[in-house]
Homo-oligomer: A and B are copies of this chain.
Amino acid sequence: MCLPGARVYNVRMLAEILSVGTELLLGTTLNTNARYLAERLAEISVDVHRHVTVGDNPARLRAAFEEASRRADLIITTGGLGPTEDDVTMASFAAFAGLGLRRDPRTIGHITRQLARRGKQLTPLIERQSLVPVGARIFQNPVGTAPAVLARVRRRERTVHALLLPGPPREMRPLYRIARAHLVRLTPRSRRTVFVVRRIRITGPTEAEVASHVPDLLKLPPPLTVGIYAKPGEVELRAMCKARTRPAADRALSRIERDVRRRLGPAVYGTGESDLPAVVGELLHRSRMTLATAESCTGGLLSKLLTDVPGSSSYFLGGVVSYHDRIKRRFLGVPAALLKRHGAVSRQVALRMAAEARRRFGSDVAVAITGVAGPAGGSAIKPVGSVHIALADRRGARCELYRFTGNREDVRARAAHKALDLLRLRLLVQR
C-alpha cells in the first residue's frame, strides 16, 4: 500500500542492542534503554533482532561484541562509559575492534567545561572519559561528561558499526538523538525507508470489543500494519507504516485513522502522546468551561491527573478530598441523614457531592467519586470495587455505578480514568 516493491526489506540493517551493567544483570535497575533504542531504531527502519545484557566484565563484554559482530551490522551499547574502574565498555570495545585508545583534547575541553558549570574540577579519574578509539566519531555529551562514540570495524570481510552510548537514560537519549542522523546514513540512500507509528487511543470498549470492530485492519499485511494493545483503562490501536517518505507514510496512516474513527466513533479519544487528562483539558480550554472535583476513594488522584497537564490552572479551579464522612458534611454540605440512610458509597451521596462541589467552587462542571477501593471496607451489597461517579453541570447531575476489578491501586486508577472519560463525553456533546 505505501511501499511498492518489498525487496527493500532484505537489505536493511540488522542491529543488536548490548546493555552493559551489573546493576541490570542483578535486576537492581530496570533496563529501559533497550526498549527506548528498539523503538527509535524501528523509526529509522533498522531491524533489531536481539537484545543482550552483560555485566561490567571485560572478558564477557568482549565475547558479547564478538558474537554480535557475527550476526549484526550495527551494535549499539549503553552503559559502562563512566569514570570508575568498573566502567570497561570503551576498553573492551577497543580490544575487540583492535583499535587503540587516544586521549581526545576536544573531549577533555568539553568535560572541563561541563565540570566547571557545576563548580567542579577535572580529576584524573574523570579524565579517563576522554579516551576514545582511534578513528571513531565522537559526540559530546550535552548533559554529562561521557562522550558517545561511533566506530567502524572490519570483521571477516564485513563492516560492522558500533555506537557506544552512556547508561543513564538522561544522557543516553540526547546522545542517541545527536547520533541518529549518522545511523540513518549507514543505510544507502536508495535503500532507506521511514517507519512511522500512529497511536490511536481508545477508551470505553474492551480490547475484544475494539478488535471485533476492526478485524480486517488487524490482519493488514506489511508495509501497513495495525496492532492492538490493552492498557489500564484504555485500548490502543497502533498503526505502523513503512514507506519511502514520511508524507507517504502519513497519508496511509491518516486513512487508517479516519477509518477507525468512523467505526468506533467517540470511543477514539485521541492520537499520539496526548493522554486523557490532556484531551479533557483541551476540551475544557476550548469551551472555556471550568471544573471542580470532589473525591473520596480516589483520594486526590483525579485532581492530580488533571493538574499533571501544564496550563491546567486555566480551567481547573480545585477540589475537595473528602476522605472522612465529617469532611463530606463540612466541606460539601452532604447532610448527615443522607450519609446515614444511604452510606457514603451511594448514588445519593455522589450526586450531592458533585452538585455541591459545583456550587461551592463556582465551576461549570463538577465530578464526584465515592466508592470502595479496598482492600477492606467491602460488603455483600457494596463489594470492593463499587464506585459511584457523578457529574454535575448547569442541567443537573447524573450518576453511574461501576464495579471495577483489581487491587486498591487498580480500582482507584480505573475510577479516576472513568471519571475523566465521562467528563470528555459530556464536553463532546455540548460545549
Interface digits, A365-402 against B, CB 8 Å rule (1 contact, 0 not)? 00000000011110000000000000000000000000
Q: Are B308 and A409 in contact (CB under 8 A)?
A: yes
| Stretch in A212-220, A265-273, A311-319, A417-425 with 4+ CB within 8 Å of B | A311-319
Q: Are B28 and A238 in contact (CB under 8 A)?
A: yes
Min CB gap A345→B, angstroms: 12
> How would you classify the secondary structure of chain A's contact residues: helix, strand, loop or mixed?
mixed
Q: Are A300 and B304 in contact (CB under 8 A)?
A: yes
Q: Are B31 and A35 in contact (CB under 8 A)?
A: yes
By CB atoms of chain B within 10 A, which of A26, A320, A323 has the most? A323
- One complex includes copies of this chain to the number of 2
Residue from B38, B302, B322 within 8 A of A27 (CB atoms): B38
Q: Are A25 and B49 in contact (CB under 8 A)?
A: yes
Residue of B nearest to A295 (CB): B300
In the complex, whether A331 has a CB less than 8 A from a CB of chain B is yes
Within 8 A of B (CB), among A34-70: 34-40, 42, 48-55, 60, 64, 67
Q: Are B317 and A326 in contact (CB under 8 A)?
A: yes
Residue of B nearest to A48 (CB): B25
Min CB gap A405→B, angstroms: 12
CB neighbours (8 Å) of A299 from chain B are 303-304, 306-308, 312, 316
| A/B interface sample: 9 pairs, CB < 8 A | A27-B38, A30-B30, A31-B34, A31-B35, A51-B51, A299-B308, A300-B307, A300-B319, A308-B408
In order of increasing CB-CB distance, the 3 nearest A-B pairs are A299-B307, A27-B38, A300-B300
